[in-house]
Structure 1
Amino acid sequence: MIPWFILFSKIHLVDTYTALILSHMLVGLPFIIWIMISFFEALPTEIEESGLIDGCTHHQVFLRIILPISGPGVITASLLSFIFSWNNFMFSVILAGDKTKTLPIAVFNFMSYSEINWGALMAAACIITLPVLIIALVSQRYVVSGLSAGAVKG
Structure 2
Amino acid sequence: MNISNETLKILTDSGWYEGRKIDIKEFKNNLEENGYTVFQSVKDFIEEFGDLVLKDTINEEVHDTSVKFTSYYANGSFKSEENYAQERLVPVGKIDSDYLILFVSESGKVYCSTGKLGDSAMEAWENLISGNGGTPWGES
TM-score over 0.5 (shorter chain): no
State the TM-score, normalizing by the size of structure 2: 0.23
Whose relative contact order is higher, 1 or 2, with alpha carbons under 8 Å and at least 6 apart? 1
State the TM-score, normalizing by the size of structure 1: 0.22
Comparing both structures, which one devotes a greater share of its residues to strand?
2
Rg (Cα) greater in structure: 1
Comparing both structures, which one devotes a greater share of its residues to helix?
1
